[in-house]
Amino acid sequence: MLPGETAGIADYPLRNQLASEVHARPYEQLTAPVQASHLAILSDESMLEQEHEAVSALCERFRVAPPSPSARHHSADMGIFRLKWERHSEFSSYTFFCHAPFEQPFQETAISRVPTDWLKQLPGKLLAAVHLAVAPKDYPKQEIEELATLFASNTVTGSIVTGGAAQVWTDFHIHADGFSRFLIQDNHLRSRQAGRLVQRLCELEQYRMLALLAFPLAQQYGQQLGQFDQALTSLTGKIVDIDNLEDERHALEQLTGLAAQVEQIASSTSYRFSAATAYYDIILQRLAELREERIAGVQMLHEFMQRRLAPAMQTCKSVEQRIQGLSTRVARASNLLRTRVDVSMEGQTKDLLRSMDRRAHLQLRMQETVEGLSVVVLSYYLLGLVGYGLKGLKSAGIGINVELGTGIAIPVVVTAVFFSVRRLKRLAGHTDS
């Protein structure tokens, strides 16, 4: 552990963790003859506690120190075998080693020494299982036909690796016991070198299987994407001929539904396709680290991978690009149609506003007409009252010319009524506002 400060400067809280990361999960030191069995089990992070309990239980059974509570990897010597456990992002790996001479490399394997009841209670689903055997220098050299019998007479792939320090043989098949097989012939491997070689071969098999998890999805959605592509092409062609708002809305609904389906596929495949790309990069890196040299007449490991795995990865990449491209095209078509719908609706709104303006203008004119009539009517009645008043004064003996007085009152009454109506209209307008 690093101190809390260095040269009087406080350490970053994660400095120790970051510095130790490159030293985590070291390679095992292996000396031929040695056999190994490797398991890669799919399990999510929620199963970490169960895995930790299982490894701790195995350690307790063989009376060795269990992993620390926060450990994500652990290596322990159980006596009759050695265990190496590693927790990864979406899977866990268990590798069992047995250092003992053997005549048949895959007859009595390392995992046969592990308690069966313990293996059965491991959480998750098995994805990859590998038997490896590192044969010593004095192990009888075999011809390719004899090697084929170790691999159930399948086509054998092999090469000289690590600068001539070893030869590797495999067939990349799952055999009757559920395991694939690698035979390593030690020429002059050092212990660390042997450990790195075994781990790289285990990783080749587990990452090959993990990368191929995306391939069934690519096959499943490839045909469906073709149907979506045809539907989008058809809808895009119809957009040009649409001439009414109802058809535009119907086409927009279809595009929205298509977009939802494409996005559903994208969300359900995005992680898997991204993970496949990352795993494939690791495979290529591990193949490069093997530094293969050809054995005459035998296909090398990287040639097998390029011939079989590369096309599958290209298919996955192609489907991922088709999903992204289709999503972009659907979005572009939706935006185009939505713009047309917006323009059409703006045109309808403009017509509606124009119609409302005409109605308002007409209503204003009618209102002005009514106001004019109101002035006339009110003036008529008021002048009638004035006439009655003048007649009453004349009857009282006052010498008044009724007709002359009424005539003089006309402009006064009309003017008074006109301004009174205008004032009432302004007061009503202020009250409404």
**Got the DSSP string for 27-85?**
PP---SSEEEEEEEEE--GGGHHHHHHHHHHHHHHTT-PPPPTT-SEEEEE-SS-EEEE
Q: Residue 247's pLDDT is what?
A: 73
Residue 1 has pLDDT above 60, yes or no: no
The two three-digit tokens of residue 27, written as one number: 């390679």
Residue 245 has pLDDT above 70, yes or no: no
Stretch 371-375: mean pLDDT: 71
- Rounded distance, CA 433 to CA 428, Å? 9
Report CA-CA distances (Å) from 213 to 154, 268, 273: 24, 13, 9
The two three-digit tokens of residue 256, written as one number: 């929205």
- Rounded distance, CA 157 to CA 170, Å? 5
Stretch 390-413: mean pLDDT: 77
Residue 40's φ and ψ, nearest 5 degrees, are: -115, 115
Q: Residue 432's pLDDT is what?
A: 58
Q: What is the mean pLDDT of the chain?
A: 86
Q: What are the domain boundaries of the chain?
A: 26-202, 214-347
Burial class (CB in 10 A: 0-12, 13-18, 19+), 167: buried
- Rounded distance, CA 180 to CA 170, Å? 8
Residue 6 has pLDDT above 60, yes or no: yes
Q: Residue 206's pLDDT is what?
A: 95
Topology of domain 214-347, CATH = Methane Monooxygenase Hydroxylase; Chain G, domain 1 (1.20.58)
Q: Residue 194's pLDDT is what?
A: 95
Residue 251 has pLDDT above 80, yes or no: no
Which tens digit of pLDDT belongs to each residue from 29-65?
Answer: 999 999 999 999 999 889 999 999 999 999 999 999 9
Q: Residue 413's pLDDT is what?
A: 77
- Rounded distance, CA 67 to CA 24, Å? 14
Least confident of 117-126, 151-160, 336-345: 336-345
Residue 20 has pLDDT above 60, yes or no: yes
* DSSP code at position 14: T
Q: Residue 81's pLDDT is what?
A: 96
Residue keyed to tokens 């490991």: 301
Q: Please list, residue by residue across 18-53, b when 16 or more beta carbons sit within 10 angstroms of its beta carbon and e when fewer do.
A: eeeeeeeeebbebebbbbbbbbbbbbeeebeeebbe
Q: Residue 429's pLDDT is what?
A: 62
Count how many residues are written for the chain.
433
418 or 126, greater pLDDT: 126
- Rounded distance, CA 99 to CA 104, Å? 14
Q: pLDDT tier at 353 (50, 70, 90 boundaries)?
A: confident
Strand bridging mode 180-186 / 125-135: parallel
C-alpha atoms less than 13 angstroms from C-alpha of 397 in its C-beta half-sphere: 0
Q: What is the pTM of this model?
A: 0.76
Say how many Å lie between the first and final Cα of the chain, rounded: 77
